[in-house]
Chains A and B, each alone.
Chain A
Amino acid sequence: MGQIRAVSGRGSNAPMDDLLREFLAETNELVAALERDLVRLEQGPDDPALVQLIFRQFHNIKGTSGFLGLKRLEKLAHAAENVLGPIRDGARAEGSEIVAPVIEALDRIKALLAGLAAEGEEPHHDDGDLVDRLDRAAATITAAVPAAPDPQHANDAGAGGDSIRVNLQALERLMAVASELVLTRNELMQLLRGRPDHEFTASLQRLSGVTTELQEGVMKLRMQPIATACAKLPRLVRDIARDLGKKIDLKIEGGETEIDRQVLELMRDPLTHLVRNAADHGIETPQERRRQGKSDTGTIVVSAHHQGGTVVIELADDGHGIDGARVRQKAQALGLATAEQLAAMGDHEVYGFIFRPGFTTAAEVTRVSGRGVGLDVVRANLEKIGGAIELKSGAGRGTRFVVRIPLTLAIVPALILDCAGERYAIPQTAVAELVQAGGASEHRLERIRGGTLLRLRGGLVPVVPLQHVLALGERAVSEEPCFVAIVKVGTNRFGVLVDGVDDAEEIVVKPLPAALRGNPVFSGTTIRGDGSITMILDPNGLAAAVGAVDEVEDKAKVAALPDVARERRVGVLLFRAGSDAPKALPLELIARIEEVPIDKIEYSDGRAVIAYRGQVMPLVTLDSRASLSGTGRRPVLVFLNEGRYAGIVADEILDITNSVLEIDRDENRPGIVGTAVIAGKITDVIDAGHYLLPAWLGARSAA
């Protein structure tokens, strides 16, 4: 199968002769292969074919560098070759003792190549010490027993004869031209739309087919096997295992799975991070593993496969896993959730916390990892390219990360949003759902204290008009029909209100022009079928711009309490508090109704509180003059907001009825939403938020 390998061009500051450039590209590839092969040799020194291969690779480097007059490279490669020669010829040697200096030599060669690329000549230094060590290693190998050369591998050196190198920039340019061709084709298609009998129609159809084929072909050229991003992993794992006295076996499966090189580049760091974590924190020491009845050697498996338009990469280790109980403890200690919320969560949900900033369950910070760059960064980097990560694990059972990333970033499915007469694209991967709101829709928008909320299946989602985010003037959130795109970024969910939504389409992503690179809400641009440019919204940027959404949400939730249930029959609690007149509250706002002994009520800073379900629950009365003294028990209406309780102390529970709450609003009586006719009587409907908000805010600032 033919193959084209993309080669990064280097800066054009120093003229470099083509020979040298070719040498660098080729040798860097050899070095990458050697790195992998040497680690394999260290693990299993008894593979003659492998030794033969490594020997020949060093021999190649020696030959070419000699030809180009690169003395240091030639000497090093020669010394390394000397160590391997006798082994190739059948001598026995202890793997790691022999391989370690050879790996050292490879590192030196890498440094020399880097210097060569930057300066155009070899850096001047002496390698005498290293060459000595290599020579000593060669000397320890026992006398050679001649062996016949392995004919099977004799032709390996020339592998890849049916592939050519292509300059990366040339490839990118080709991609850009193909994209432009697609756009021109689209323009023509639009011109001839609905004119099947036009003389150009048949030709255009052919042009269209060829264009699509060309574009797909160019896209394929950009694809690289995932194995290229894994090339450095064996060495990384080997070094960590050596440093920490562990035995680790790294397996890479599905390395041939192909992915766009741009995605591959962006994948490299997160993948390395996860593997480093697994080797450092996941896999136990051999002693520890023996105690648990596992084999001495731990295993890390990186596997990749295609699934629809995405690539799934799984990273599993058989180490000690992540203990759900410890994640819970830590989450509680960091105030991310209350004990009760945690108790109600499944392990799967709890594992989501490890992707929060500052979250680590590692008991100690080691040299290798755990230095502040955590899984939150991994997740953020993956989400930037429209990917996702989740964790499956269990204490003692190892850890398994599942990463999903798009095949390419060059063409993405996107929704086109209408806003203030302009159009904006948003990647479809970020949009959880589209909701039609306002007007006759069942989804209502509520305006509450400066914020807007969408009532969606019983939950509340904060909503911002796109127009505000883009500073395109005010947009009234009125009763007119509109669309809300529910955007999900990490654990953050918010709605973006727009005037309309067009069909989803595949867009060709172009980078932002230089003058706009700092723009917080756009990630790129695209040219549409009609030749106009559409800006692509960056979901992360939107989330940041929406900003203090959480706070708005908190406040709004409380304030929204009395707004439910205007049109349907709901359970209504009738109670007496402060005065004799019955008061009403929709039942669904109330978490529970409790009876508390009055003598258990305490005062903290003048505020009434009571111990309740592991919390200090603030209590309020509707009449500020009412005292909470005496004996006996009083009913308390308990409300729950963001995991915190607060209670309204009533005098008496009168009744629970089913009723349509048609509230006659009254803006002039604080604490009262208005009146409604319930069971034939005009009843005040309480604005619970009015009473509870100060209590919650007080409790929070005191906490």
Chain B
Amino acid sequence: MRGQHLVAFVADRKFALPLGLVCDLVKPLPLTRVPHAPDGVVGIFNLRGRIVTALDLRERLGLPGREAGAAAIDIVVDHRGELYALIVDDVDESTSPDEASRADLAVLDIAALIAGLA
């Protein structure tokens, strides 16, 4: 039995994220750009005094870029004591965490996503 999941939309795809890793859902905050950052890292921002590294999932997954001004949401996850914001288009609030676990969806491997940086 898989744990609870959160469903997110990225471009025309749907992914499931293990809910246990998710700390917060926030509207995108102003970013500080980081020159020479690894591909996919769009910047960093301050979330209540902690520094969060923002990853654009469209870019990380090789999907087409988001249109300027299009809505987006940050899924903040904790990985090894550091915070990362996965920028997605939207989250699916109509699917309950338990339904999401049963749904036949690709589960995002967050560890691999982050380890692949640098």
Residue positions of A touching B, CB distance < 8 A: 179-180, 183-184, 422, 470-472, 510, 513-522, 525, 527, 531-535
Q: Are B80 and A514 in contact (CB under 8 A)?
A: yes
With contacts A513-B51, A527-B46, A533-B45 taken as known, whether A519 is within 8 angstroms of B34 at the C-beta atoms is: yes
Can you spell out 19 A-B residue pairs with CB atoms less than 8 angstroms apart? A180-B49, A422-B32, A422-B33, A470-B35, A472-B35, A513-B51, A513-B53, A514-B53, A514-B80, A515-B37, A515-B53, A515-B84, A516-B34, A516-B53, A531-B46, A532-B30, A533-B45, A534-B32, A535-B35
Q: How far is the CA of A183 from the CA of B46 in the complex (A)?
A: 11
Chain B residues within 8 Å of A535, by CB: 32, 34-35
CB A379 to nearest CB in B, in angstroms, measures 26
Interface centre among A470, A515, A525, A534 (most CB of B within 10 A): A515
CB A463 to nearest CB in B, in angstroms, measures 19
Is B24 an interface position by the 8 A CB rule?
no
CB A529 to nearest CB in B, in angstroms, measures 12
Chain B residues within 8 Å of A472, by CB: 35
- Contact code string B43-63 (vs A, CB < 8 Å = 1, else 0): 011100101110000000000
Q: Are B35 and A525 in contact (CB under 8 A)?
A: no
Chain B residues within 8 Å of A515, by CB: 37-38, 41, 53, 82, 84, 114, 117-118
CB A285 to nearest CB in B, in angstroms, measures 52
- Nearest-neighbor residue (CB-CB) of A469 within chain B: B35
Partner of B37, one of A510, A519, A532, A534: A519
CB A305 to nearest CB in B, in angstroms, measures 36
Number of interchain pairs (Cβ within 8 Å): 63
Q: How far is the CA of A180 from the CA of B51 in the complex (A)?
A: 11
CB A395 to nearest CB in B, in angstroms, measures 47
Is B36 an interface position by the 8 A CB rule?
yes
Interface centre among B36, B53, B117 (most CB of A within 10 A): B36
Chain A residues within 8 Å of B118, by CB: 515, 517-518
Partner of B44, one of A183, A521, A531, A533: A533
Chain B residues within 8 Å of A513, by CB: 44, 51-53, 82
CB B33 to nearest CB in A, in angstroms, measures 6
- Nearest-neighbor residue (CB-CB) of B55 within chain A: A515
Q: How far is the CA of A320 from the CA of B29 in the complex (A)?
A: 63
- Contact code string B78-96 (vs A, CB < 8 Å = 1, else 0): 0010101000000000000
Q: How far is the CA of A183 from the CA of B33 in the complex (A)?
A: 21
Partner of B32, one of A180, A518, A533: A533
Q: Are B36 and A527 in contact (CB under 8 A)?
A: no
Q: Are A519 and B53 in contact (CB under 8 A)?
A: no
Partner of A525, one of B33, B51, B117: B51
Q: How far is the CA of A183 from the CA of B51 in the complex (A)?
A: 13
Q: Are A520 and B36 in contact (CB under 8 A)?
A: yes
Within 8 A of A (CB), among B1-58: 30, 32-38, 41, 44-46, 49, 51-53
